[in-house]
Amino acid sequence: MKDALRSFSEVGHNTYMYYAYILRSETHDQYYYGSTTDLQQRLIAHNAGQSLHTRKYRPWVIIWYGAFTSKKQAQSFEK
């Protein structure tokens, strides 16, 4: 999974990937939809309590993500 989460810029291209994702709380019946350019770092932030919206439902796991070539596409899919 780690390789799948790298942006194109990390593998020699000049294009960033944007991700839409769905998280599921492991302890509550809660889901969270978001978008980011760094999926691994964003999950770490959610699980560290750095987001007010997800802090009380930790820990989180990624249950789905999609990669997009534009921020607008990722944000549209998130909604």
Which has more confidence, 46 or 3? 46
Is the torsion defined by CA of 39, 40, 43, 45 positive or negative?
Answer: negative
Beta strand residue intervals within 1-79, DSSP E: 18-25, 31-36, 60-68
Q: pLDDT digits over 40-72, tens only?
A: 999 999 999 999 999 999 999 999 999 999 999
Q: Which domains does the chain have, with CATH numbers?
A: 3-78 (3.40.1440)
Q: pLDDT digits over 7-51, tens only?
A: 444 545 556 899 999 999 999 999 999 999 999 999 999 999 999
| Model confidence at 74: pLDDT above 80 | yes
Q: What is the pLDDT of residue 16?
A: 82
